[in-house]
Structure 1
């Protein structure tokens, strides 16, 4: 009898993470001789610990199509770091109880670490489990892959927003706001902020200044750049990654506290910069934080991103059926013009807890912009439109109420 499969979503969601889920589920159904039932853990690895499993056999082809067109995590996600032997033992007990032989974990770097731990646990216990990491992260910081599903759509949303907001600020700059600051996600890497540079088609178009975690901010130099930009163009649009640091290595937006993985909580960069500029330059400033809007904007999804999100889900199943566990699916860039790509895979050990910084050759000499090489890299990732269906003028996103399977084991008490 074929063993069952378990899929779960982890970490911050993306506009296309559900497309990867649909890819996994649809591909698994094509291999009934290898894979039995496909379950999903509600709220990521927490659903495994609490034995809250969903049987995906209830999903129709229409449901799968709607998953591909819906943002957020349809099955629930989580931020939870496996820390104890008791948790690892519980995960293995649940897998045994449900005859799980395939584990597909859809997430970023921290999720890759969880997937690796589960894979190593099963191997040490002699349990037949193939664990595959399905990549996704809007931060685009997973190593050994050309890009990460979710990033292309967020990059498209941010570049679009900068172009639109720039037109607004320009039209009012003579008598009102002269500086607009958009804060985007990016704790340690500036991929999202850098991609906003695609909004500028010619000299003088926004974003005029891009602040990256890879480049320390000297406040005096920043203020001089803002003044010079306003003098030349009449206004200044700034895109800043949340993880920007000063010359002493301190986050400008450090808010105090840490998350489940020990990461410092960030917040408030945009208002901080607005206050700094207003105080020292006297310009009226306006700021905005893209926050969850950027990672939920399915209406501006990139067609390239959607196709790759589906493909990594399908490829994860192919790896599993081929007996290749302990791996992460990767995207390989084959050509620039036209942009061509293929699917590959790397061992989880080279991915877990690793980050891919923005390359130095993508950063302009003054540290406030991007190079032609960066534009060549980013451009195909935001290419093409893949809008969701609309009803009454609004996206027709799916909402599901899942039925949880009756548990086999006692309630978990960590």
Structure 2
């Protein structure tokens, strides 16, 4: 039987370590030449497959592939594009199978979050019914840490480290000026429905009373009077107040505090602006001078302060994905399994894509304090191992060195054009 080629693609919001997963996939595939011929990457995720826009990774040197491990962003281009059901849009699935067949692709590795795992699951099912079975393995990735079945999501540990470090640094700035100037600092972080990133701000604390003094989670309904009282008490006790707030903070009626009214390609509400919203609330009610910041892309692109553990996790799930496929597994996703014991250790497990797809893992209630504005000791014990270790990139002329891909395209063989 002729060897098959593999197709790898990145999907959704990228992370500081998603390319480490790509490195794991590519290096492992190259180590099994008897099983996998070439690895192609989709230019801009699944869109690259639909439009037959493929990158020939065999044209990239081993050194360039190795450099992916310390390069942030999505090296091959990512996308927010959700495949609808087969009944809704049969033509997309027919096109995918057509492209995969034309390029002798038998393995599909999709690196993304819950929506991406849904795509991989759908392709694994539909390809069989259409007479061209494709081995589909999902590769976990999301800064939100909301994928089920895996102890953590590769990408999260580095964001958690960035938010903890940034909270500490900004807090020292604020504390030094609060007597005569700003008394409130608000850091807005990502997290639509899950407050894992906001929780990581608490890791900045070394002693009791250290900032952040308030954390606002999406899982807890925003209590305006209780929040303002806590701000006032913090200023009284410490002279200032540091707040870490999730973009997904919500009102009692379930609406977001900061809803821009738009939708993204996955149908999710566009968020952003909760920090200035809350800052103005504090100014209006309490009169304190404030500053606020939105971590935005910085939190998920900060490879220079990435967690070494996160890099290790990301590479491992990419490597495992290829090993799963070669072993004959299909429609599964490698997971991180935390071993029992006081000292942190982990292994690779697996979960069925059907169970992972479109499921969000929120913070357990016992990870959030009774007052709703802080984390518990159990949450801290969970988070701390994920930010351990430093994995700085190499530097040249004071700037991090990143992978520079040739991105040589695979020649198109299909005459038909497909638009998305």
Per the TM superposition, whether the score is higher than 0.5 is yes
Distance 1:64 1:401 in 2: 11
Q: 3-state SS of the aligned residue for 1:193?
A: helix
Tell me if the contact between 1:151 and 1:305 (Cα under 8 Å) persists in the aligned partners.
Answer: yes
How many Å separate the matches in 1 of 2:206 and 2:370?
A: 19
* Mapped partners of 1:20, 1:58: distance in 2: 19
Distance in 2 separating the partners of 1:407 and 1:367: 55
- Counterpart of 1:128 in structure 2 is 133
Matched with 1:18 is: 19
Structure-2 change in CA distance of 1:282 and 1:14 (3 Å):
same
Structure 2 residue 256 is the aligned partner of structure 1 residue 251: yes
What is the match of residue 212 of structure 1? 217
Q: 1:397 and 1:57 mapped to 2: Cα distance? A: 19
Residue 68 of structure 2 is aligned to residue 67 of structure 1? yes
Q: Give the 3-state SS of the residue equivalent to 1:92 in structure 2.
A: helix
Instruction: Report what 1:48 is aligned to.
Output: 49
**Structure 2 residue 284 is matched with structure 1 residue 283:** no
Offset of residue 337 of structure 1: 2.9
1:259 & 1:133 partners in 2: Cα distance? 22
* 2:277 alignment partner in structure 1: 272
Q: Secondary structure at the match of 2:339?
A: strand
Determine the structure 2 residue equivalent to 1:150.
Answer: 155
In structure 2, how many angstroms separate the alpha carbons of the residues matched to 1:306 and 1:25? 15
The two structures have a TM-score, normalised by structure 2, of: 0.97
Q: Which of 133, 141, 148 lines up with 2:146 in the alignment? A: 141
**TM-score normalised per structure 1:** 0.99
Q: Which residue does the alignment assign to 2:119?
A: 114
Q: Secondary structure at the match of 1:335?
A: coil
1:11-60: CA deviations, max 9, x gaps?
A: 00000000000100010111111111110000000001110101111122
1:315-326 matched pairs, under 5 angstroms: 315-326=320-331
| Cα drift, residue 326 of structure 1 | 0.4
Contact 2:59 2:408 in 1 (8 A): no
Distance 2:374 2:404 in 1: 40
In structure 2, distance between residues paired with 1:261 and 1:153: 24
Q: State the Cα distance separating 1:126 from its structure 2 match.
A: 2.9
Measure the CA separation in 2 of the matches of 1:65 and 1:55.
Answer: 16
Q: Is the 8 A contact 2:71 2:402 kept in 1?
A: yes
Runs of 4+ in 1 over 4 A off after TM superposition: none
The residue that corresponds to 2:418 in the other structure is: 412
Residues 245 and 252 of structure 1 are in contact (CA less than 8 Å); yes or no, is this contact kept in structure 2? Answer: yes
Q: CA RMSD in A?
A: 0.9
In 2, Cα distance between equivalents of 1:36 and 1:107: 24
Pair 1:303-2:308 in alignment: yes
Instruction: Structure 2: state its 5+ residue gaps.
Output: none
Deviations 1:85-140 (A, max 9, x none): 11111111111111111000000001011111111111212323100000000000
Contact persistence 2:42–2:53 (CA under 8 A): yes
Task: Count matched residues.
Answer: 414
